[in-house]
A and B are shown apart, each in its own frame.
Chain A
Amino acid sequence: DTEVTQTPKHLVMGMTNKKSLKCEQHMGHRAMYWYKQKAKKPPELMFVYSYEKLSINESVPSRFSPECPNSSLLNLHLHALQPEDSALYLCASSPGLGGGNEQFFGPGTRLTVL
């Protein structure tokens, strides 16, 4: 299995809702990532997990809460989002963190906040 899966594919939520995005990989990778991509812009890193511990938080607002329950799963909990948070949320994984490690990306969850 050489892919990263993300659910759901699409999500529409109100500003008062709580929802979660899920990401899964079964490649034995020890690093997992969340990126945010606005329309016609490049992906921007949000969080990095290494060996199930949060390694990098790129000053992301607390309404985004990541969780890594085990080495195969990565969640992004969403609460009290704003319409400007509407974007494509991408998950990725890599075998490790060094410069020679390539990242494998999922197809993304397209989030719309009303």
Chain B
Amino acid sequence: DAKTTQPNSMESNEEEPVHLPCNHSTISGTDYIHWYRQLPSQGPEYVIHGLTSNVNNRMASLAIAEDRKSSTLILHRATLRDAAVYYCIPKGGSEKLVFGKGTKLTVNP
């Protein structure tokens, strides 16, 4: 499994953009990069995933470096509801989703 490095915590203000970084320098060529988040007292929630190209959906954008050794999850306008632990997870053909420690995002009103 590819190892990931994420900041332990980040802070943002409401309605400002948030860029959550992730390093995954040992990622294999066929691993997708998945992002999940977990709000307090809830199960994890899928956010977005991508392979090589940048991806957008209604929740967020995912920017993937050209060498695929890092990626950034972008929340365009943070809300209080976005306060959560964000997990970056490389996932290949194996069934496993291996969670690291993640980044705890605090959103200030």
| Chain A residues within 8 Å of B, Cβ to Cβ | 4, 31, 33, 42-45, 48, 50, 55-56, 90, 92, 97-100, 102-108
Interface residues of B (CB under 8 A from A): 30-32, 34, 36, 42-46, 49, 51, 85, 87, 91-102
Majority DSSP secondary structure for residues of B touching A: loop
Inter-chain contacts of A103 with B (CB < 8 A): 36, 44, 46, 97
Which of chain B's residues have a CB closer than 8 A to the CB of A92?
A: 43-44, 97
Determine the residue in chain A with the shortest Cβ distance to B90.
A99
Partner of A56, one of B34, B93, B95, B100: B95
Q: Are A100 and B51 in contact (CB under 8 A)?
A: yes
- In the bound assembly, the distance between CA atoms of A58 and B85 in angstroms comes to 24
Q: Please tell me which one of the listed residues B32, B98, B99, B102 contacts residue A99 in the complex, with CB atoms under 8 A apart.
A: B32
Tell whether, in the assembled complex, residue A102 and residue B102 are in contact, meaning their CB atoms are under 8 Å apart: no
Report whether over half of chain A's contact residues are helix, strand or loop; otherwise say mixed.
strand
Q: Shortest distance in angstroms between A48's beta carbon and chain B's nearest beta carbon?
A: 4
A–B pairs, 14, beta carbons within 8 Å: A33-B95, A42-B100, A42-B101, A44-B99, A48-B95, A56-B96, A92-B44, A92-B97, A97-B94, A98-B93, A100-B51, A105-B44, A106-B43, A107-B42
